[in-house]
Amino acid sequence: MHTVPAVDAAHLPQLLQAMPKAELHMHIEGSLEPELIFALAQRNGVKLPYASVEDLRRAYAFTDLQSFLDIYYAGASVLLYEQDFYDMARAYLARAAQDNVVHAEIFFDPQTHTQRGVGMETVINGLYRACRDAEIEQGISSALILSFLRHLSEEDAFATLEAALPLRDRFIGVGLDSSEVGNPPEKFARVFARCRELGLHLVAHAGEEGPPAYIWGALDVLHSERIDHGVQAARDEALMQRLVRDGVPLTVCPLSNLKLCVVADLAQHNLPQLLEAGLKVTVNSDDPAYFGGYVNENYLQLFAATGMNSQQAWQLAVNSFDASFVTPQQRAHWMRQLEAVFAKYAALA
Ligand SMILES: Nc1ncnc2[nH]cnc12
Ligand SMILES: [Zn+2]
């Protein structure tokens, strides 16, 4: 491992905030803050089943993944026009830039919108324009990943892919999200095979609530290049060895795991153990508007709860660049920025 200048624990929070990082697991619909949901509802004349922003926020008491998804899909119902998708993504990218996110790979769930009669081009063009403008105005790089909803059929996923292909140059890959248990990766074997032929990057949620078998399926059947969540891998030693051997990144989301009761307490989160075992672990926010924080809040609360140190912070930032779908030149550029930030904080008394 690279030797990193040690940073005093007293400066760890500022280091976590200042270090450049990539965010590889966030759902753009999960960045819709209650205030923006209400503003868009008013702008578009959509009636919400909540009386106020506070009333909506009070509903954010989740017991598991499904209890969250029900509210998350209801929140997304205010998105109708290209400008809505643009405004949502600009708000996220502005907030991510404040956390020194230099690159974001962003999931979007087209079926949530096309099922309501919103056009595929409305969704993709609004998001894509926001990514481009944020790069120009804030210097943050980003890319879009189209995510299939696994509670729907593979046929629906094929129709979604077909509808998106005219805009193929505007997204870099596909993912698989929504209700995990009962919807194993094998259900989407053929549509992922088609996406692979098309040269799209492939990722999949697996082992969030679902068993290690779903992670094996994501790797062996879907050929997923990263595992989104993957925290259940620790239950299967052979799987852990496979993930280490192949350098498969896990995009872990600590506050999401806490809010969806995947872990009882952040102090018990297994991220430090996964990192120690040699897995390429990254830290991400998943659905920041719903889970109590953007990416830096995930780093800060995790480090405070587990006592992780600056060496581990370095590894997580490096992993975020290694696991991203960018060029080696781009990675090298961010590594130089990372080295400069560590040198600055290591020099503080
Ligand atoms: N954490 C999560 N798991 C599965 N699907 C999701 N969609 C948005 N967030 C998700
Ligand atoms: Zn997710």
Instruction: Decide if pLDDT at 30 tops 90.
Output: yes
Neighbours of 207 (CB within 10 A): 27
333-336 LR contacts (CB < 8 Å, sep 24+): 334/20, 334/22, 334/102, 334/103
The values of phi and psi at residue 232, to 5°, are -75, -5
The answer to the question of whether 133 is labelled as a binding residue is no
- What is d(CA 85, CA 133) in angstroms, rounded to the nearest whole number? 13
pLDDT in tens, 250-282: 999 999 999 999 999 999 999 999 999 999 999
Q: Which residue puts its alpha carbon closest to atom 7 of ligand 1? A: 178
ipTM, 2 dp: 0.98
Q: Which atom of ligand 1 is nearest to the CA of 256?
A: 1
Structural tokens at position 163: 């509808």
Q: How far is the CA of 178 from the centre of ligand 1 (A)?
A: 5
Q: Which ligand is nearest to the CA of 149?
A: 1
Instruction: Decide if pLDDT at 5 tops 90.
Output: no
- Residues annotated as part of the active site: 208
Task: End-to-end CA distance of the chain: give it in Å, rounded.
Answer: 25
Q: How far is the CA of 205 from the centre of ligand 2 (A)?
A: 7
> Ligand 1 in contact with 228 (CB < 6 A)?
no
Q: Which atom of ligand 1 is nearest to the CA of 178?
A: 5
The CA-atom distances, in angstroms, between 258 and each of 206, 253, 255, 268, 290 are: 17, 9, 5, 10, 12
Q: Which residue puts its alpha carbon closest to atom 5 of ligand 1? A: 178
> Ligand 1 in contact with 205 (CB < 6 A)?
yes
The answer to the question of whether 205 is labelled as a binding residue is yes
pLDDT in tens, 39-66: 999 999 999 999 999 999 999 999 999 9
The pLDDT-based confidence of 3 (bands split at 50, 70, 90) is: confident
Instruction: Kindly give, in sequence order, each residue whose CB lies less than 8 Å from that of residue 105, ignoring residues fewer than 6 positions away.
Output: 22, 23, 24, 25, 142, 143, 144, 145, 172, 324, 325
Q: What letter would DSSP give residue 181? A: T
The values of phi and psi at residue 125, to 5°, are -65, -40
CATH number of 19-345: 3.20.20.140
